[in-house]
Amino acid sequence: MNIRISRYLIAAVAVAILSFAPSALADGASMDLTGAGSNVLGGVYVGAYTVTINGVSTQVVCDDYADESYIGETWTATENALGTLTGTKWGSQTNATQGYDEMAWLFNQMFSTTNTQTIADIQYAIWAVFDPGALSAISGTDLANAEWWLTQAGLQSFYAGEFSNIVIYTPNTSYPISCSGQSCANTPPQEFMAYVATPEPSTVLMLGLGMLSLGFLFRRRAIA
């Protein structure tokens, strides 16, 4: 009888833990572009933008030079880890895995500096991974620097799961796209990369308590 009760309790605790665990990557991320910063190069804003994702303000970097996004634009995106590129902007390219890894590496370099010029040059390197034509918008030192960063990314050796802390947000055009309540341009929003959201402290605490409870129940069962 004691064993049967323990099983029920374990199942209940497991359900509780799952209910507080972060949601899996999937369709349906609600996106709202709220800021593009003030760093401009080649006539466009570069570097991290600010997007509200499912109600949480998040720093993102676009990897898509050809499309456009607007302040106040809202849309729905598909979330993908770098190990699952189906449906991403560049996922059908033969070199998709290598290319996204290079962009992820550049993404990390961007967030490791506060130099606005370096950030701008890295942004163009990110765009040029799959769209080399993006480099035609800049010249001189900026062009040389962007090409240098692009070359450095190509020289890196990557391993599976290296960028598991980065997620890709690809516009899902099956859902409406609006700009401050009105329809936007014909092109979809840009694809963005961001760091995986960190669980709230309360969620971490609940997960910890759940694991402790499971450990206690298993210990009780072992003693019995």
pLDDT exceeds cutoff 80 at 199? no
**Quick one: how far is CA 221 from the chain centroid?**
42
User: Strand ranges (DSSP E) for the chain?
Assistant: 29-35, 40-41, 44-45, 49-53, 56-62, 73-81, 166-171, 178-179, 182-183, 192-195
pLDDT band at 25 (very low <50, low <70, confident <90, very high): low
**pLDDT score recorded for residue 180:** 76
* Average pLDDT of the residues in 73-92: 94
Q: How many CB atoms lie within 10 A of CB 53?
A: 19
pLDDT tier at 198, thresholds 50, 70, 90: low
Mean pLDDT of the chain: 83
The whole-angstrom separation of Cα 92 and Cα 69 is 22
Average pLDDT over residues 5-15: 44
| Average pLDDT rounded to a whole number, residues 77-85 | 94
According to DSSP, the residues that pair with 31 across neighbouring strands are 53, 75
Domain extent listing, the chain: 1-22+200-224, 23-198
Q: What is the mean pLDDT of residues 139-151?
A: 98
Select the more confidently predicted residue: 118 or 221.
118
- Tell me the Cα Rg of the chain: 22
Give the up-direction half-sphere exposure of residue 134: CA atoms within 13 A in the CB hemisphere: 26
In this prediction, residue 108 has a pLDDT band, given cuts at 50, 70 and 90, of very high
- Using CA atoms, how far residue 135 sits from 48, 108, 181, in Å, is 18, 20, 34
Sign of CA dihedral 89, 95, 96, 102: negative
The pLDDT of residue 179 is: 86
In this prediction, residue 23 has a pLDDT band, given cuts at 50, 70 and 90, of: very low
Per-residue buried b or exposed e for 6-33, using 16+ beta carbons within 10 Å of the residue's own CB: eeebeeebeeebeebeeeebeeebebbb
The yes-or-no verdict on residue 76 having pLDDT over 80 is: yes
Q: What is the predicted pLDDT for the residue at 11? A: 43
Q: What is the pLDDT of residue 216?
A: 47
State the pLDDT confidence band at 29, using cuts at 50, 70 and 90: very high
Gap between the Cα atoms of 26 and 167, Å rounded: 11
pLDDT value at 67 more than 60: yes
Least confident of 140-144, 181-185, 219-223: 219-223
219 or 18, higher pLDDT: 219
Residues 154-179: pLDDT tens digits? Answer: 999 999 999 999 999 999 989 988 88
* pLDDT, average across residues 14-24: 41
191, 168 Cβ separation under 8 angstroms: yes
DSSP 196: P
* Residue 139 amino acid letter: S
Long-range contacts of 26-30 (CB under 8 A, 24+ apart): 26/78, 26/79, 27/76, 27/78, 27/79, 27/172, 28/76, 28/78, 28/172, 29/53, 29/54, 29/76, 29/77, 29/78, 29/79, 29/169, 30/54, 30/55, 30/74, 30/76
φ, ψ of residue 111 to 5 degrees: the values are: -85, 0
For residues 125 and 66, give the distance between their C-alpha atoms in angstroms, rounded to a whole number. 14
Looking at 10-14, 135-139, 206-210, which range is the least confident one?
Answer: 10-14
